[in-house]
Amino acid sequence: DAGITQSPRHKVTETGTPVTLRCHQTENHRYMYWYRQDPGHGLRLIHYSYGVKDTDKGEVSDGYSVSRSKTEDFLLTLESATSSQTSVYFCAISESAGLPIQFFGPGTRLTVL
């Protein structure tokens, strides 16, 4: 987890409220990713970024938006949280597309009641 922090680490919220999760890196890596991890599904890509202000959708992007205004920060927003978004969220970073080893943060456990 060195060089990658996520905040908050745990959050409980209610259906319909907006939620923002933050990923912060100190490695100056170009690529950043948001995944969710659920039993029986493994890691699924939500959104990713290939540079400041450059983002794209992943496999399960519905209901999520992202922003990256600085190299070091990648924000994931749930505009109106639903119970199906209860999950563990991981941020990951990688240096380049040609060397796609991704390093993961410690995760955020989100519960939507």
Binding site for other proteins (CB under 8 A): 1, 4, 31, 37, 39-43, 45, 48, 50, 58, 88, 90, 94, 96-98, 100-107
Question: Rounded to the nearest whole angstrom, what is the least distance from the CB of residue 68 to other proteins in the complex?
Answer: 16
Surface-to-core class of residue 48, CB atoms within 10 Å of its CB (0-12 exposed, 13-18 middle, 19+ buried): buried
Q: Compute the least distance from the CB of residue 43 to other proteins, in Å.
A: 4
Residue recorded with tokens 């999520």:
64
Q: Cα–Cα distance between 8 and 93 in angstroms, integer?
A: 18
Per the structure block, which two tokens stand in for 6?
């996520």
For the CB of residue 31, give the shortest distance to other proteins in the complex, in Å.
Answer: 6
The single-letter code of the amino acid at 107 is G
Instruction: Tell me how far, at minimum, the Cβ of 25 lies from other proteins, in Å.
Output: 13
- Residue 73 tokens read as 């920060």
Nearer residue to other proteins within complex by CB, 50 or 73: 50
DSSP code for 98? T
Nearer Cβ to other proteins, position 34 or 80? 34
State which residue, 45 or 75, has the beta carbon closest to other proteins.
45
Q: Closer to other proteins at the Cβ: 58 or 63? A: 58
What sections of 1-113 are H helices per DSSP? none
